[in-house]
Every structure is written in C-alpha cells, then in structure tokens.
C-alpha cells in the first residue's frame, strides 16, 4: 500500500520595524531583559494599543509580493489564552477579516515548477520569552509586542523537500522586501507544519498532525520525513492516526506528542474593541505596489537575460539578495559572469558556511575577490591554491597579491622547473607511463596529479600536461 | 456657605479675584471629611486625606483611573496596592489645565461591576441623603463625595450608567460623553467598546467645564476620535425655544417608580413651558438593551480581566500550588470578588466555541438595531428625555442577593452606551423621603453642546441642584 502526504506550512516572520506593533518600544535583540518595555507591551492595566503604520505597510508589502488579495476592510481580534509570556493573556491577532487572502508562491522542486497556494497573510503581535531555571521561571517582555506576520499555506505541499524549497523561496522573498531578518535560529522566522497521510489516489484528507519546535529549514524537512515514516508504519499496521500536536526533538530526531485535539484550547476569538475596524485605501495599496523591489523570480529572469547564465546556475545566488547584489557588483568590475558565479556558489559560499557568516559580514569586497579571480584567470595562481589564498584573505584581511608574494604561492608556468619535476614523475611511475602508452588516457591525468602534488599545487596544470605529452611521445 | 460647598466655577472666581487661597479650599474639604467621611465612606478606605495637593482646584478620581505612583486598585483585592507607573490621559489633561489630582481615590464597585458600590473590596459607600441607602454605582464614591461636599468635583467612568445612575441617586450632575470623545488611555478597562470617562459635578456649568478639559483626540487611544472639542461652557445658554424633545414610550413602563415618573413628567412640562416641543417617540429595541449589554460587556470584561493573573503585578496567592495553572486559579480565585467572577464566567461562556454566534455575534447585531433606533429619532428630534433610573436609591443589601434585580437599575442608562451617544443626568426632584431623582437627557453623538444647553436651561429654572443632603 502506498501513501501520499499532504503538507501545509504556517510561517511566522518577525517584522524588522524600528518599533513594536502597538507601542513605541524599540525592536532589538540582546538587550537587558525587560528594558524595551512600556505600559502597553507589558499589558499594564489601562494601557491601549495603537497600530504601528510601518508594520502594517510591511504586511501589505508581503501580501502583495505573494500575490494575495489585500482586503478592503480588515480588523484585529483577540486570541485569548493564559500563558506567562503573554502579558495581557490575549494576543492581538487577526481572525476572520485578515488583511489579505489567496495568494501563491512558485517553487522549483526536484526540477519541476509548482505553485503553492497561500491561504492568508495577517499581522499579529509576538509574545515575550520565558527563561526556565531549576527552581523558577523568568520572563523577558522585550520581544512582547514585536510585529509578527503569519503566512499560512494551502495544503499543497506534497513532500518534505517541497516544504524545504517553499521555505527557501519564502525566506528569499521576505529578505528581498527587507521586512524580516528571517533567522530561524534567532527565532525571527518560525515554522509549524501540518501533515496528513492518505492512500494514493484518495481525495479525502487523513487525520492532521501539527508539528512544532523545528528551528531550521532542515529540521522542518527532517521532522516531516520522520512523521511520514511514523504515520506510514501506523497505517500499515491498520492503526489510526491521532489528530494532535507533536514537538520535534532535534537531539532524538523524533516527534513527541504535546497535546491531542481534545486538549486543544478554545481561543474565544472576538473583535479587538481597542482597535477599530479599518479600511485600506486603494491609493495606499497602489503606493506600496509601486515601491515593491525586484523579487527573486524577476531577478532570476533578468540575470539569465543580462548575464547569459541559466536559471539553474543563478538559483543559489538569487536566493540570497545580498549575494545577488554582490554578484552584480563583481560583474561590473569584471564582465565574466559565469566565472564569478562559480566562485560565489563554490569557494565563497563554502567560506560563508564554514565561518557561519553572510556575504555582508564576510568582509570580502567585490574588488578584492575580483583581484583574486583575475590572478587565476591570467595564470598567476592556480585554482587550487586560490582557494587557500581566499581563506588567507579572509583570515588576515590582506589582498591576494601580497599573500601570494609572501607565501610564494605563484603558479609555476616556467617550463624548465616543470620539466625537471615531470622527468622525476615519469621515472617514478613506470606503470602509469606504460598504461598511457597502451592508450589509457586516464593515466596521464594521474601523472599530472603527481606533478601538481610535487609542486605543492603551484604548477600550472595546462603546462604540465603539455610537457608530459611531449616527453611521453619521445619515450 | 463653606468653601467645600461651592461649585468649581464659584471657587475659581474667588481664586481669580484673590479672595481666597487654594489652601483654604483644602482645609475646608479636610474639615468636611473629618465630619462626614466616616458615615459616607466615599473614598477608598485607608486613604490618606492629608495628601490632597495644595494648588489648583482638586479633582477626586475614581479608583479605576491610573494615577502615576498613587494607588489605583479598581477596589479589587487583585490590584491591591497597585501603583501605575503612568498617568491616564485625563489625569495629564487635568494637570495641564492647572487643576490638581486628589491622591485619595473614590470608592467603586470592583472593576466597575455593579450599580450600588457595594461590590468594593474596601466596603460599601453610603448615600449622603440616607446613609442606609446605596449611592448607586459603580462610580458611587465619586457621586457621594460630590453630594456630601467631600469633593468639589470628580471623575467617574460609565460603561452602562456608572456615572449617571449614582449621580441620579446622589442628586448631582453626571455626564457620559460620546464614545470616543474622551481618551480611555489609563482607564482600567471593563468593557472597552462601552467605557467612557466623565465628570460628576454639583451643577451643569462645572460639568461643561470639566468635560471640555478632559475631552479630545489622543494618539494613545485609537478609539478617541479626532474631532475638535467645542468650548462647552459657551453652550451654557438659558434657552430651549424650538428644541424638539422626544420622550420614549418604552421608558415609561412597569417597574418605573411613581414618584420618579411624576418628577420626570414635571420636568417635561417645565421644558415645554420654556419653549421646547415635546413628542412621544419609539425606541422599539429598548427591551433588548439589557441582555445585549450583559453579553457584550461581560465578553469584553472576561478578556480585559485576563491580565490579572499574579504574574506581573498586583496580588498573587500565597499558596504554593504545584503548577502554573494552580497559581492562576488560586490568585484569581482569591483576588476577585463574586460579581467579578460571575461576569468573567458569563463573558467566557458567551465567547466560547459553539456559543459565539448565538450570543456575542447576535448581540452585536441587536446593538446595531438599538443604535439605529436612536439615529432614527435624532433625525427629527434634538434630544431624548427619560428618567435616569427607574427608582431612587435603594437600601444597602436590598438587591445584593439578586443580581438580575440589580442589573435592572441600569435599564435606562445602558442604551446610551450601546449606541455610543452622550447622556447626562441632573437632579429633577426629591421624593417624599428626600431622595434625589435624576433626569436623563440624550443627544446624538458629539452633540454635547445641545445636551449642556438643555440641561443648563432646566437647571437654571429649578433649584434641585441647590438642595443639600442633611448628613
């Protein structure tokens, strides 16, 4: 029996506005606990919320970028539940008149384009943070009242990989709009997933399980994969799936039941009487539409057209707006887009990953990278050595030229030096020489590799190959 | 007459003419408090009267309006000793106008839940006209303080009649402004879509003056409307010629005390004589106002009061429960009085899954019908005239055991809150037992000027506002 899965994602993105959603307190990380608070975000008696216009406009921006219909009339509602991180014991959210409905997001997954429906995008406020000690729990309200965007997808996602790709594209869009930092580890982007399984071909939905507590895109994918396995096992044993909320445990790599449907809260939503229903003027929507930046799909199309690259080639660079901007800055200095792109998705990305830095924080100017690339292209330094030079540039901040000079890393194209090494290699590797002469072209590559090794990677492989061919012809 | 017996306007004239010093007003108030407060108990018990400020005309403040650094407890155990770190917008406005804020807050029903000021954690307030009777509520402390000349004037809050009904019971003037006329920032919310702060004063002129001071747009309250505030004192014109008064049939039915009815009819006759035209009108959805109110008000209250949980401020249980839920339940169980609990439970129920549509949503629709009733009448009439409360002040304890009976005390005042329109109560008679009767005038939204004009004309042609209780 085969099963297919039906997945819907609920993403919460913190908006990076200067101030909170309903008061004037600053939105900042890492400040002294409870220092960014006022009577409003502390929920003190008598205080009242007033909507942050910028947060609202950011929300509309995202809604428009996701092709949603921005609603003429919208309102806020109270979601009532008791928890110490929620100062008023209700969250100001949007229930039946969210600010936008019915959008979609196009993703490329396993080489196929797919449209994932967006059910709604709405604005709400974030809660504070609890810090649990052995004998007490503390609460920090600095985060309380931070504007939060809830983006709910339709159950159109049909694999954990698609979920991963959806999140990647969504994150790119939010970053392009400049409205959120989208850092899952910091919690500025959060994702819950709903998943159900059904027999292939069946139209009705199975029992839905909500997954929480995933703190990276990979964790979302892992949790969904785990859940598919767990549910498939249950179904094959003819056991039912319980509708429940489960938490992902990143250490045990498994999900655990948090609460069942029977234990689910009744949030008693009702219209927030402190914030009147309001009308979104067409002129505001037009103004925001006009201010939308180039979005990933448009940028990708432009890169393909302007730089002669394929969509697949630019995919990685496009996902990161800063990297895409960096790519363009590099192309202005040195018009070889393909080479630059290879560097960015290769060596530069590797450095960003290993150092856990972004292109902006890597401290590598476009000019210094181009200087390095040019040295490779004109044969001054080998591709292999250049990667080490890049490391050194990032470690020391020195320019490529001086590193190459200081460490004697310049590529050896001088034939007399290389002739000598090639001679030695031929002497020492009689077997490979025989193989080559017997017609095995691969054996030559082995010999080239040996020369490279002896030269400490500095030999120019093209020159080495020529020399070897010449010598072996005369054997 | 002693200074404490004068109106704010009379005192200001004397201050301006340098006939008296502010300290003399204070001493006169303190002297009065020493004589009568033990009987009336208008202020929150344990309050220190020595701290009445020395400058500017003092205003007495209801215990649910935030005053920076001063106890603001909503007369509830759960907010015991709570000192807000900020001033309500009305308090800021009062200070900016050169008035001063009394540190002793006036007594009220816990969280403004009540019509008698019996539901205070600090004990009941007594009506200065008959200390065996209630002063009305929930702003009973403010009304009793003004009536007993223990305050020059005061601020109250009105969600379903909490300014007007006690004003009526105590023989003083109480105004509920249009919803959105006065900022609610700093008013500890009972029902956010109904609450308004308003003045309780000895006469209409003081009411107009204090209303003008506290009214206006506020960037901290999204429901405070940005409409210019007229100078209400200029509306104090002794003329009602051509004014069209509507008298709703639905307000003169069973349950209305005969003496109250008699005084209201006399007031109508007087206004007629003074040149107003009077006609019967219909407000057909009046009978639904009370149930609609108790759904909407309790629903909002259940959510507004959720924040009182012992986590951040106020009272927290001493009991060392096992869990977070234990702390919530025990703190709230011990901290709230029975009427507060009743309303939280009722409000939670009407918002619950499966009941929301039948109760809350339907109540909102009927609320619109009630508002439409008023809109229709105000197309033809300048104002509506009714009794403020169906009876004069009742005895302490008389209705305490029967909440529904108590709720009926606000049957004439609730519709104005549901419709968001302004309404004033002013003295229009004394019963044979010398209990005050209140006349209620209602106008369309943001037409406080017409309200003041009619009230002022009536007042200046009668002397009920000059009557004093014999304490």
Q: What is the pLDDT of residues A31-85, one digit of tens each?
A: 999 999 999 999 999 999 999 999 999 999 999 999 999 999 999 999 999 999 9
Choosing from B76, B116, B157, B162, the catalytic residue is B162
pLDDT of res. A2: 83
Which among B81, B25, B33 has a CA at the least distance from the CA of B53? B25
Q: Does the distance separating the beta carbons of B299 and A270 come in below 8 Å? A: yes
Helix ranges (H only) for B21-88 are 22-40
Q: Residue A465 pLDDT more than 90?
A: no
Q: Does the distance separating the beta carbons of B348 and A44 come in below 8 Å? A: no
Q: Which runs of E-coded beta strand occur in B412-468?
A: 423-430, 436-442
- Arithmetic mean of pLDDT, B184-212: 98
A50 chain-B contacts, CB cut-off 8 A: 219-222
Q: Does the distance separating the beta carbons of A275 and B222 come in below 8 Å? A: yes
Nearest CA to CA, how far is B127 from chain A (Å)? 28
Indicate if the alpha-carbon torsion angle B222, B227, B231, B233 is positive or negative: negative
List Cβ neighbours of A350 (8 Å cut-off, separation of 6 or more): none
pLDDT of res. A109: 75
Which among B58, B63, B70, B184 has a CA at the least distance from the CA of B117? B63
Distance CA B359, CA B288 (A): 13
Q: Is B183 a catalytic residue?
A: no
**pLDDT, tens digit, for every residue of B207-237?**
999 999 999 999 999 999 999 999 999 999 9
- Arithmetic mean of pLDDT, B56-65: 95
Distance CA A59, CA A76 (A): 13
pLDDT of res. B159: 98
Q: Residue A19 pLDDT more than 90?
A: yes
Q: Is B371 a catalytic residue?
A: no
Interface of B with A in 3-42 (CB under 8 A): none
Helix (H) or strand (E) holding A283: helix A282-291
Size of interface A-B (CB pairs under 8 A): 98
B320 touches chain A (CB under 8 A): no
pLDDT of res. A430: 80
Q: Does the distance separating the beta carbons of B82 and A87 come in below 8 Å? A: no
More confident residue, B471 or A152: A152
In which band, very low, low, confident or very high, does the pLDDT at A396 lie, cut at 50, 70 and 90? Answer: confident
pLDDT of res. A464: 80
From the CA atom positions of chain B, what is the Rg in Å? Answer: 21
Contact indicator for B350, A269 with CB cutoff of 8 Å: no
Distance CA A429, CA A438 (A): 14
Nearest CA to CA, how far is B302 from chain A (Å)? 10
**pLDDT, tens digit, for every residue of A206-229?**
889 999 999 999 999 999 999 999
pLDDT of res. A475: 61
**pLDDT, tens digit, for every residue of B22-51?**
889 988 998 999 999 999 999 997 556 666
> What average pLDDT does the structure give for chain B?
95
Q: Give Cα A306 distance to the centre of its chain.
A: 25
> What average pLDDT does the structure give for chain A?
89
A51 chain-B contacts, CB cut-off 8 A: 222
Q: Which of A45, A50, A90 sits opposite B222 (nearest CB)?
A: A50
In which band, very low, low, confident or very high, does the pLDDT at A29 lie, cut at 50, 70 and 90? Answer: confident
Report the range of poorest mean pLDDT among A9-18, A361-370, B122-131: A361-370
pLDDT of res. A457: 77
Q: Is B323 a catalytic residue?
A: no
A90 touches chain B (CB under 8 A): yes
Q: Residue A275 pLDDT more than 80?
A: yes
**pLDDT, tens digit, for every residue of B136-157?**
999 999 999 999 999 999 999 9
Q: Which runs of E-coded beta strand occur in A238-396?
A: 244-249, 254-260, 270-271, 278-279
Q: Residue B463 pLDDT more than 70?
A: yes
- Residue B409 tokens read as 């005390």
- Counting runs of H as helices and runs of E as strands, what totals does chain A give? 16, 16
Q: Strand B244-248 and strand B383-387: pairing?
A: parallel
Q: Does the distance separating the beta carbons of A46 and B84 come in below 8 Å? A: yes
Q: Does the distance separating the beta carbons of B66 and A46 come in below 8 Å? A: yes
A274 chain-B contacts, CB cut-off 8 A: 189, 192, 221-223
Contact indicator for B253, B374 with CB cutoff of 8 Å: no
Distance CA B346, CA B295 (A): 8
Q: Give Cα B345 distance to the centre of its chain.
A: 24
User: Angle of helix A282-291 relative to helix A53-65, nearest 10 degrees?
Assistant: 70
**pLDDT, tens digit, for every residue of A316-359?**
889 888 899 999 888 888 888 888 888 888 888 888 888 888 88
Distance CA B204, CA B136 (A): 20
Please report, for residues A292, A328, A462, the alpha-carbon distance to residue A314 in angstroms, rounded to integers and kept in the order given. 22, 12, 28
Distance CA B197, CA B181 (A): 9
Question: Which backbone phi and psi does B161 adopt, to 5 degrees?
Answer: 135, 10
Beta-carbon neighbour count of residue A69 at 10 Å? 13
Which among B75, B360, B288 has a CA at the least distance from the CA of A268? B360
Interface of A with B in 144-173 (CB under 8 A): none
Distance CA A412, CA A406 (A): 15
Q: Residue B255 pLDDT more than 70?
A: yes
A90-93: strand order across its sheet: A90-93, A77-80, A270-271
Q: Which of A45, A49, A274 sits opposite B188 (nearest CB)?
A: A45
- Arithmetic mean of pLDDT, A402-410: 75
B244-248: strand order across its sheet: B100-106, B58-62, B154-158, B196-201, B173-176, B423-430, B436-442, B383-387, B244-248, B277-281
Q: Does the distance separating the beta carbons of B86 and A90 come in below 8 Å? A: no
CATH superfamily for B3-238+429-434+451-466 is Amidase signature (AS) domain (3.90.1300.10)
Enumerate the β-bridge partners of residue A90.
A80
Distance CA A235, CA A22 (A): 47
Q: State whether CATH 1.10.10.410 applies to domain A415-473.
A: yes
Q: Does the distance separating the beta carbons of A45 and B351 come in below 8 Å? A: no
pLDDT of res. A260: 75
pLDDT of res. B47: 58
Q: Residue A379 pLDDT more than 80?
A: no
Helix ranges (H only) for B124-203 are 140-147, 164-170
- Residue A345 tokens read as 């998705």
Distance CA B37, CA B145 (A): 9
Contact indicator for B93, B51 with CB cutoff of 8 Å: no
DSSP code string of B279-292: EEE--TTGGGHHHH
Q: Which residue of A has its CA nearest to B188?
A: A46
- Arithmetic mean of pLDDT, B443-470: 97
A127 chain-B contacts, CB cut-off 8 A: none
pLDDT of res. B227: 95
Q: Against a cut of 0.80, is the pTM above it?
A: yes
Question: Which backbone phi and psi does A14 adopt, to 5 degrees?
Answer: -75, 135
pLDDT of res. A392: 80
pLDDT of res. A262: 65
- Residue B234 tokens read as 């200029």
Question: For B120, how many CA atoms within 13 A lie in the half-sphere containing its CB?
Answer: 34
Share of chain A above pLDDT 90, in %: 49
In which band, very low, low, confident or very high, does the pLDDT at A454 lie, cut at 50, 70 and 90? Answer: confident
Q: Does the distance separating the beta carbons of A39 and B309 come in below 8 Å? A: no
Distance CA B225, CA B182 (A): 8
Nearest CA to CA, how far is B321 from chain A (Å)? 13
Indicate if the alpha-carbon torsion angle B289, B292, B295, B299 is positive or negative: negative
Question: For A169, how many CA atoms within 13 A lie in the half-sphere containing its CB?
Answer: 24
In which band, very low, low, confident or very high, does the pLDDT at A264 lie, cut at 50, 70 and 90? Answer: low
Give per-residue burial for B47-85: e unless 16+ CB within 10 Å, then b. Answer: bebeebeeebbbbbbbbbbbbeebbbbbbbbbbeebebe
pLDDT of res. A404: 78
How much helix, strand and coil, in percent to the nearest 5, is found in chain A?
40, 20, 35
Please report, for residues A401, B61, B84, the alpha-carbon distance to residue A404 in angstroms, rounded to integers and kept in the order given. 5, 80, 67
């Amino acid at each position: 029996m085969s099963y297919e899965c039906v997945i819907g994602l609920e993403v919460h993105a913190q908006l990076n506005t200067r101030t909170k959603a309903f008061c004037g307190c600053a939105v900042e990380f890492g400040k002294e606990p409870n220092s960014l608070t006022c009577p409003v975000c502390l929920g003190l008696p008598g205080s009242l919320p007033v909507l942050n216009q910028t947060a609202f406009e950011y929300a509309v921006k995202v809604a428009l970028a996701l092709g949603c219909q921005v609603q003429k009339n919208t309102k806020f509602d109270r979601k009532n539940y008791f928890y110490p991180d929620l100062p008023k014991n209700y969250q100001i959210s949007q229930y039946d008149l969210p600010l936008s409905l019915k959008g979609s997001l196009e993703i490329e997954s396993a080489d196929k384009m797919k449209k994932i429906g967006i059910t709604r995008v709405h604005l709400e406020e974030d809660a504070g943070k609890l810090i649990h000690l052995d004998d007490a729990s503390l609460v920090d309200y600095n985060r309380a009242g931070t504007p939060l965007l809830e983006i709910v997808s339709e159950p159109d996602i049909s694999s954990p990989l698609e979920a991963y790709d959806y999140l990647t594209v969504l994150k790119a869009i939010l970053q392009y709009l400049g409205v959120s930092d989208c850092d899952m580890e910091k919690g500025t982007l959060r994702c819950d997933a709903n998943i159900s399984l059904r027999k292939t071909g069946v139209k009705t939905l199975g029992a839905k399980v909500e997954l929480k507590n995933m703190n990276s895109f990979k964790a979302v994918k892992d949790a969904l994969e785990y859940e598919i396995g767990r549910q498939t096992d249950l179904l094959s044993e003819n056991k039912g799936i319980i509708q429940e909320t489960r938490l992902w445990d990143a250490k045990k790599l498994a999900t655990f039941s948090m609460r069942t449907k029977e234990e689910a809260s009744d949030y008693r939503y009702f219209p927030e009487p402190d914030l009147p229903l309001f009308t979104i003027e067409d002129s505001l929507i037009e103004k925001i539409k006009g201010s939308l930046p180039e979005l990933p799909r448009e940028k990708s199309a432009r890169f393909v057209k302007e730089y002669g690259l394929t969509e697949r080639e630019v995919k990685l660079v496009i996902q990161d707006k800063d990297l895409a901007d960096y790519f363009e800055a590099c192309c202005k200095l040195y018009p070889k887009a393909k080479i630059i792109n290879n560097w960015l998705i290769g060596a530069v990305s590797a450095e960003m990953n290993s150092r856990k830095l972004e292109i902006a924080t890597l401290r590598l100017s476009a000019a210094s990278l181009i200087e390095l690339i040019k040295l490779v292209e004109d044969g001054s330094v080998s591709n292999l050595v250049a990667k080490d030079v890049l490391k050194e540039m990032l470690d020391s901040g020195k320019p490529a030229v001086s590193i190459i000079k200081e460490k004697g890393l310049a590529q050896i194209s001088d034939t007399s030096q290389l002739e000598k090494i090639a001679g030695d290699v031929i002497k020492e590797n009689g077997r490979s020489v025989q193989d080559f002469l017997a017609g095995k072209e691969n054996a030559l590559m082995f010999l080239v590799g040996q020369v490279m090794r002896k030269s400490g990677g500095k030999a120019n492989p093209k020159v080495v190959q020529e020399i070897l061919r010449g010598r072996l012809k005369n054997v | 007459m002693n200074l404490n017996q004068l109106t704010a306007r009379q005192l200001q004239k004397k201050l301006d003419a340098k006939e008296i010093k502010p300290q003399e007003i204070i001493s006169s108030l303190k002297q009065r408090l020493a004589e009568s407060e033990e009987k009336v108990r208008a202020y929150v018990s344990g309050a220190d009267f020595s701290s009445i400020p020395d400058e500017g005309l003092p205003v007495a403040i209801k215990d649910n309006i935030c005053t920076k650094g001063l106890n603001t407890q909503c007369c509830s155990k759960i907010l015991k000793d709570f000192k807000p770190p900020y001033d309500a917008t009305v308090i800021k406005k009062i200070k900016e106008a050169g008035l001063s804020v009394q540190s002793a807050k006036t007594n009220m029903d816990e969280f403004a839940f009540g019509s008698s000021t019996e539901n205070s954690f600090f004990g009941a307030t007594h009506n200065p006209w008959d200390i065996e009777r209630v002063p009305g509520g929930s702003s009973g402390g403010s009304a009793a303080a003004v009536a007993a000349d223990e305050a020059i004037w005061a601020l109250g809050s009105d969600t379903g009649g909490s300014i007007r009904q006690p004003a009526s019971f105590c023989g003083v003037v109480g105004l509920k402004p249009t919803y959105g006329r006065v900022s609610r920032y700093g008013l500890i919310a009972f029902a956010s879509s109904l609450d308004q702060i308003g003045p309780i004063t000895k006469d209409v002129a003081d009411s107009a003056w204090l209303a003008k001071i506290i009214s206006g747009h506020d960037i901290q309250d999204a429901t405070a409307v940005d409409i210019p505030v007229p100078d209400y004192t200029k509306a104090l014109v002794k003329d009602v010629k051509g004014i069209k008064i509507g008298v709703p049939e639905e307000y003169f039915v069973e349950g209305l005390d005969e003496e109250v009815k008699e005084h209201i009819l006399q007031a109508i006759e007087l206004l007629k004589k003074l040149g107003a035209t009077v006609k019967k009108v219909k407000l057909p959805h009046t009978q639904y106002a009370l149930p609609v109110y108790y759904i909407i008000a309790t629903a909002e209250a259940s959510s507004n009061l959720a924040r009182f949980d012992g986590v951040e401020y106020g009272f927290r249980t001493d009991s060392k429960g096992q869990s977070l839920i234990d702390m919530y339940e025990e703190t709230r169980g011990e901290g709230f009085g029975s009427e507060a609990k009743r309303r939280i439970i009722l409000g939670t129920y009407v918002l619950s899954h499966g009941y929301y549509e039948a109760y809350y949503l339907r109540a909102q629709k009927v609320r619109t019908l009630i508002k439409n009733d008023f809109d229709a009448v105000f197309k033809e009439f300048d104002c509506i005239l009714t009794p403020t409360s169906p009876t004069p002040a009742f005895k302490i304890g008389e209705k305490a055991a029967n909440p529904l009976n108590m709720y009926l005390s606000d049957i004439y005042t609730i519709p104005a809150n549901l419709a968001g329109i302004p309404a004033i109560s002013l003295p229009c008679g004394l019963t044979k037992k010398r209990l005050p009767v209140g006349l209620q005038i209602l106008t369309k939204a943001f037409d406080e000027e017409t309200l003041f004009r009619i009230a002022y004309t009536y007042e200046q042609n009668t002397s009920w506002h000059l009557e004093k209780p014999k304490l």
